[in-house]
A and B are shown apart, each in its own frame.
Chain A
């Protein structure tokens, strides 16, 4: 791997370009608070409701997102290698190993390593809030950090969902799961109250949820606009625009951001503006993106290929929930999403009740819908070696898509570790795949 193989992404939307000013503003605000006293700070995992953090007015960091930033700045290999030196296998989730290396260097150097992407790195945690909703590594991640580096309390939530062959509408099953979700949330809140010394403000939580639902509503509507031909928004915009969901959801700023994004994309649809001149291929993307080389999407665009739907980080359907009891609203939101996925027949990821990641679950009737509604004619599947959780099910999905006449290409690399990226080889494969799609369109046979 040489760094020159990696390319930064070109974004197409004004709104997502503007994030480059918006996020630093957010980070500066956090920094000021961090340095102004001894406020509690939580390291969090996707799956922890950002609304809850907001309602506690709690400082937070997302090591997962930090991993994507380290990856895109190409500093992840340095951190990962430090973790490997400690005995963490290269097979393990590179977001985790990235954090382990970062923590080790921080502990040893007494301050975050200077190559850290965020100014001053991540703040030192006083607690950790995990969520084991997608994968095993997420259970071990904070446990290991708190064992080796920062001796702080950890609470991991555990939102289980029914396996695909269990009826979630059976009232006894519903109660079986709902009671777990409710108590788990209560446990999380009790933990936060204890370690922040603050009482949960239910009114603030309600307000935050209302704002966050408003923002997510715009996001859902924006994604639906991508059904248009030509597709008005591509993957570089998509993947970057998930970030405000972690940092700003529950803020007015986030509502404004997603509304503006919606308006901009809508305007492009109205004017028939696509992101490539001649849209030859409309693709669906499965798996995590290669954060160190987001320019790969621009490469695809240069060949006339646009990704109109991504399986990962997709918040999926929007649910009306009754906010009068905001805690029950949080529980119901999780549950409704689980039931919805269940209705699609989530054969491979029965537990995935938070729709932030669809990867691997899509061997279901959802695929039929997507292919039709988004006029998709091909699929790219990024098989990430160190994250099997999200790439699991790609072969199965490929089988299902083949049944719908949609060809897929599975190619291997990683989300954060560029050492597993081989630029020339991957580009050759992508190119060849698009050519086979041409042949198929001309009546040829596809055998990839």
Chain B
């Protein structure tokens, strides 16, 4: 068994556990579970409507052939992997599905999935590609339509107070996650990147209160730690969605310290609180649309669109960036050359890892990463 197989196996066990757990929670609470992909449709609204939001995860490296009867072989392997899982019936605990119009692949998955495997509830949350004032208005209206559709499904009306309570509960988790991230500003960091990602994966699949408890436990334990091993190059990971710690583990094995990231499920989701504005939709629009840093949203030409990353790199005292692109991931692959050049000018090297959502072959990945660590 290669080391990476070991890493993926750890990720896989956690994923299996999270699915068993959600079945238990669902049975106990009697609430419907609504799966979602991407971060534009707020899970808070799902929660406030009396359902349990569940971030759907793939199983990297697993056979995707079950998807072949419905979609072409060319396309994001992460999305194909999730469709294969749905086809195999592995996601049968879902009562509903919410897909946001993020990238092409995810958006089109919606049609195929709901056509062949309809669920009791499904909604495609439409999202403009720019943050112009009229696009913001559209997003706000879309929030309203989304809320209505959920209320209709669950029979549970959402009043502003209960939505505010839910947002507060989620914001608490955001601040705890940020506290955890801050422990990595130390050198060497007090928490490993792979540990945090494991936790965040749990966070996507747990009701917020349960996640709060987990986070508190981890924080208390981590704060008591003395230094974690020796110093090593401080790495930020940027790129496609990451719902398995395999790559982070390989970086760590190669001597790197993953101290920051810009990925989905990672910091993109937890970086800021949802502002509790008088009209809650205004805050939600700000958080989930205007400020949400996904390269699928057009922020105009120029490298200014990467400034937030540079700022983060400075804040976490980064030595180098590892870019992670899943095959056929247009939004990230298009940004790579511009980002690489921008970071290079700032003295930050960027190593690109192209992956077909398997993190294999782990051996050569590790060798490349080792060479990169030595170089920086």
Q: Please determine whether B112 and A347 come into contact, CB atoms closer than 8 angstroms.
A: yes
Q: Is A266 an interface residue (CB 8 A)?
A: no
Q: Is B162 an interface residue (CB 8 A)?
A: no
List CB contacts (< 8 Å) of B71-97 with chain A.
71-72, 74-75
User: How far apart are the CA atoms of A412 and B74 in the complex, in Å?
Assistant: 10
Set of chain A residues within 8 Å of B325, measured between Cβ atoms? 89
Shortest CB-to-CB span from A128 to chain B, Å, is 8
List CB contacts (< 8 Å) of A154-200 with chain B.
154, 156, 158, 160, 162-166, 173, 176, 179-180, 183-184, 187
Closest to B149 in A: A166
Shortest CB-to-CB span from B308 to chain A, Å, is 16
Q: Is A391 an interface residue (CB 8 A)?
A: yes
Binding site for A on B (CB under 8 A): 68-72, 74-75, 101, 103-105, 107-108, 110-112, 114-115, 122, 124, 126, 128-130, 132-135, 137-138, 141-142, 145, 295-296, 298, 300-303, 325, 327-328, 330-331, 333-338, 340-341, 352, 354
Shortest CB-to-CB span from A69 to chain B, Å, is 23
Set of chain A residues within 8 Å of B142, measured between Cβ atoms? 176
Show 18 residue pairs from A and B whose CB-CB distance is below 8 angstroms, ordered by the A residue. Answer: A89-B354, A92-B330, A92-B334, A140-B331, A144-B301, A144-B337, A146-B301, A156-B298, A164-B111, A165-B124, A179-B138, A180-B128, A183-B132, A348-B115, A351-B101, A393-B108, A396-B115, A412-B74
User: How far apart are the CA atoms of A147 and B303 in the complex, in Å?
Assistant: 7
- 15 other contacts beyond A347-B115, A349-B111, with CB at 8 A cut-off? A92-B334, A136-B331, A137-B334, A142-B301, A143-B334, A144-B337, A147-B302, A148-B337, A154-B301, A163-B124, A179-B137, A348-B108, A348-B115, A350-B110, A350-B124
Set of chain A residues within 8 Å of B354, measured between Cβ atoms? 89
Shortest CB-to-CB span from A92 to chain B, Å, is 6
Q: Please determine whether B110 and A388 come into contact, CB atoms closer than 8 angstroms.
A: no
Q: Is A368 an interface residue (CB 8 A)?
A: no
User: How far apart are the CA atoms of A405 and B137 in the complex, in Å?
Assistant: 46
Q: Please determine whether B328 and A91 come into contact, CB atoms closer than 8 angstroms.
A: yes
Q: Please determine whether B107 and A350 come into contact, CB atoms closer than 8 angstroms.
A: yes
Set of chain A residues within 8 Å of B328, measured between Cβ atoms? 91, 388
Q: Please determine whether B122 and A187 come into contact, CB atoms closer than 8 angstroms.
A: no
Closest to B141 in A: A176
Q: Is A135 an interface residue (CB 8 A)?
A: yes
List CB contacts (< 8 Å) of A115-169 with chain B.
132, 135-137, 139-148, 151, 154, 156, 158, 160, 162-166
Q: Please determine whether B337 and A137 come into contact, CB atoms closer than 8 angstroms.
A: no
Which residue, of A162, A179, A385, A392, has the highest number of chain B Cβ atoms within 10 A?
Answer: A392
Q: 10 smallest A-B Cβ distances: which pairs?
A: A146-B301, A140-B334, A183-B134, A87-B337, A163-B124, A348-B111, A347-B111, A136-B330, A136-B104, A347-B115
Which residue, of B111, B126, B141, B142, has the highest number of chain A Cβ atoms within 10 A?
Answer: B111
Set of chain A residues within 8 Å of B130, measured between Cβ atoms? 156, 158
Contact with B along A353-391 (1 / 0, CB 8 A): 000000010010000000000000000000101001101
User: How far apart are the CA atoms of A395 and B116 in the complex, in Å?
Assistant: 12
Q: Please determine whether B110 and A163 come into contact, CB atoms closer than 8 angstroms.
A: yes
Set of chain A residues within 8 Å of B352, measured between Cβ atoms? 87
User: How far apart are the CA atoms of A164 and B122 in the complex, in Å?
Assistant: 11
User: How far apart are the CA atoms of A89 and B76 in the complex, in Å?
Assistant: 14
Which residue, of B145, B328, B330, B335, has the highest number of chain A Cβ atoms within 10 A?
Answer: B330
Shortest CB-to-CB span from A20 to chain B, Å, is 34
Set of chain B residues within 8 Å of A346, measured between Cβ atoms? 111
Closest to B304 in A: A147
Q: Please determine whether B129 and A139 come into contact, CB atoms closer than 8 angstroms.
A: yes
Set of chain A residues within 8 Å of B336, measured between Cβ atoms? 87, 89
Set of chain A residues within 8 Å of B115, measured between Cβ atoms? 347-348, 363, 396
Closest to B67 in A: A395
Q: Please determine whether B108 and A395 come into contact, CB atoms closer than 8 angstroms.
A: no
Q: Is A399 an interface residue (CB 8 A)?
A: yes
Partner of A158, one of B69, B114, B128, B333: B128
Partner of A160, one of B126, B145, B327: B126
Shortest CB-to-CB span from A162 to chain B, Å, is 7
User: How far apart are the CA atoms of A385 and B328 in the complex, in Å?
Assistant: 9
Contact with B along A391-431 (1 / 0, CB 8 A): 11111100100000000001010000000000000000000
List CB contacts (< 8 Å) of A39-88 with chain B.
86-88
Q: Please determine whether B104 and A388 come into contact, CB atoms closer than 8 angstroms.
A: yes
Q: Please determine whether A348 and B112 come into contact, CB atoms closer than 8 angstroms.
A: yes
Q: Please determine whether A396 and B141 come into contact, CB atoms closer than 8 angstroms.
A: no
Closest to A134 in B: B104
Shortest CB-to-CB span from B4 to chain A, Å, is 23
Set of chain A residues within 8 Å of B128, measured between Cβ atoms? 158, 160, 180
Q: Please determine whether B134 and A187 come into contact, CB atoms closer than 8 angstroms.
A: yes
Q: Please determine whether B129 and A158 come into contact, CB atoms closer than 8 angstroms.
A: yes
Set of chain A residues within 8 Å of B112, measured between Cβ atoms? 347-348, 393, 396
Closest to A86 in B: B337
Set of chain A residues within 8 Å of B108, measured between Cβ atoms? 348-349, 360, 392-393
Shortest CB-to-CB span from A223 to chain B, Å, is 26
Q: Please determine whether A143 and B300 come into contact, CB atoms closer than 8 angstroms.
A: yes
